[in-house]
Amino acid sequence: MSRIRHVVCAVSGGVDSSVAALLLKKRGYRVTGVFMKNWDSLEESGTCTSERDFDDAHRVCQTLDIPFHQVSYVKEYWHEVFSYLLKEYEKGRTPNPDILCNKHIKFNYFHKYAINTLGADAIATGHYARTSQEDEDVFHHKLTPHHNTHTTLFRNPVRLYKPADLLKDQTFFLSQISQDALRQTMFPLAGLTKAFVKKIAAEAGLHHVLKKKESMGICFIGKRNFEKFILEYLEPKPGNFVSIEDGTVKGKHKGWFTLTLGQRAKTGGQKNAWFVVDKDVATGDVFVAPTTNHPALFRDTMRTDRFHWITGDPHPELVRNQMMECHFRFIHQKPLVPCTVTLNMDGSVWISLSQPLRALTPGQFAVLYKGDECLGSGKIIQLGPSEYTLQQDLERLKAAAQHGEQQSPDAAS
């Protein structure tokens, strides 16, 4: 019994976190379940989804016969995630609340609560991800009672890897978490597929979580229209939809913050569909193009803010050569794209892609991978020129060259 340690598992009322808690108990750990309430809201139907999730999570813990706690991080979420989101939208960017929630709430406040208040040796979540510690079987070794001993127990940086089920890979959403939190985190679903997780839940009698639909989209918006939702918090700032090709006005919008790059614009009265390709926050103009794959939507370079390396330091190859080949994505589950990364003096990075991608978006996170390892991420703050801009520049250069050739005979005479 001396080998059994205390693990606090985040339980959301879904099948993944429920099976994570079940597996921990089966492995002999003393498990406590904690439900986090991060948002106060009623859906349009009048149903409070957090209350339903709370009941489901509580029922799971009763079935597993483990202690159950609820913590509220509504204020923390508002100040550190949601307020930040609103500021980013006002700047014309499109933030990622899931990455920010993991960074600030689950792997910060929840982590500290589990370790310092509940006396846990480690936390666990239902994310599909893997760490280097699980490869080394570190979590099967007994910890001493002092909570700060993990700094000496783990001599090497803990690395974050893709899980067995690549279709469910959630390392993208974990790309901003701290090394301190990762050192004390377990991912029980690391080696399992989603199908097998559902099978385990069914065999354990957790049918009430099996019947639930998976949560999709931004948690606090629910079934509401995004434009209506964001206009509850930001004053409308009407502006024009302007053609990127000829500068003509194609319609009106209620605020650049209601729109993101690549989405279809509600231009109204236009025969063909138009798509958002750029924004000018100073004028309020939102630039649009007439096709979904217009060259104005494609770019292959970007700069991030100070890059967050999961191991704490930039990759050794990047430090050594000031350049590194790896892979990139900025949307969860999109295919990884080969890229070249350059490290800047301020800790930011330039990323050059092997092929232009559609709708690279400021405010989103550039997540880098080296093989199976998720290296970390940085917020995209600057984009390189679009394919359309490059085409225009090339045409201007050709026109200038032709004009020069036409004038040269006159100059000679």
**Strand (E) or helix (H) holding 306:** strand 298-306
From the candidates 9, 48, 61, 219, give the one annotated as an active-site residue.
Answer: 219
Half-sphere exposure of 85 (CA within 13 A, CB side): 21
| Interatomic CA distance for residues 89 and 84, integer angstroms | 9
Coil, strand, or helix at residue 203?
A: helix
407/96 Cα distance (integer angstroms): 54
Q: Could you tell me the end-to-end alpha-carbon distance of the chain, in angstroms, rounded to an integer? A: 101
* 3-state class (DSSP) for residue 214: coil
Asked about 219 being catalytic, the answer comes back as yes
Q: Identify the active-site residue in 101, 326, 339, 374.
A: 101
Give Cα 25 to chain centroid, integer Å: 30
- Is 374 assigned a catalytic role? no
- The answer to whether the beta carbons of residues 386 and 277 sit under 8 Å apart is yes
Contact 377, 348 (CB under 8 A): no
DSSP 48: -
Q: Which residues contact 327 (CB under 8 A, 6 or more apart)?
A: 336, 337, 338, 339, 368, 369, 370
d(CA 133, CA 131): 5
* DSSP 8-class letter at 263: S
Q: Are β-strands 323-329 and 365-370 bridged in parallel, bridged antiparallel, or unpaired?
A: antiparallel
CA triple 82-225-293, angle to 5 deg: 95
C-alpha to C-alpha distances, 88 to 92, 255, 320, 368, nearest whole angstrom: 7, 13, 34, 22
- State the catalytic residues: 101, 219
